[in-house]
Amino acid sequence: MCCCEKKDPKQEALEALLAKYKGQKGALIPVLQQTQDIYGYLPKEALQQISRELKIPLSEIFGVCTFYAQFHLSPRGRNIIRVCLGTACHVRGGAKIFERVQQELGIKDGETTEDLRFTIESVACIGACGLAPVIMVNDDTHGRLTPDQIPDILAQYE
């Protein structure tokens, strides 16, 4: 690298993280969590670097990443929409809310819009049963919904 070239700040953060955990047993999950905090997901190149630095086979790392729902192997949207499909939401029309969100964004459960604006996830329960049907966008709860409210809710998020 030339003296004038700047290193990618995310790459520098990953290198610092790996230096901190080098040689520590049980470091994989915290390293994966913090790597995901850096990138927003777990890119293949980062997993390969983790494998080299921590001397853990890539297949083992991939196994951990795919076992735990908290880890994501592809980029996620800036806004995470969680649509509750639990019992109370189901009884009060949660499926229609979910259909409308998917229709408005043109994506299905677990997918991300091409512009990385939204990711949709169905969840078993949000814990706001008295407000059913409910969605969360990031940390904001929207309850007592009808499908017609969805476009205005989505418009609030860049």
Could you tell me where the DSSP H helices lie in 75-148?
Answer: 87-91, 94-105
Give CA–CA dist 40/78, Å, rounded: 9
Q: Length of the chain in residues, anyone?
A: 158
Is 2 annotated as ligand-binding?
no
Is 89 annotated as ligand-binding?
yes
Say whether 62 sits in a helix, a strand or coil: helix
Nearest to 12 by CA among 23, 26, 1, 28: 1
Q: List all residues 6 or more positions away from 76 whose beta carbon is below 8 Å from its beta carbon.
A: 40, 41, 112, 116, 119
Give CA–CA dist 72/36, Å, rounded: 8
Residues flagged as binding site: 84, 89, 125, 129
Residues flagged as binding site for [2Fe-2S] cluster: 84, 89, 125, 129
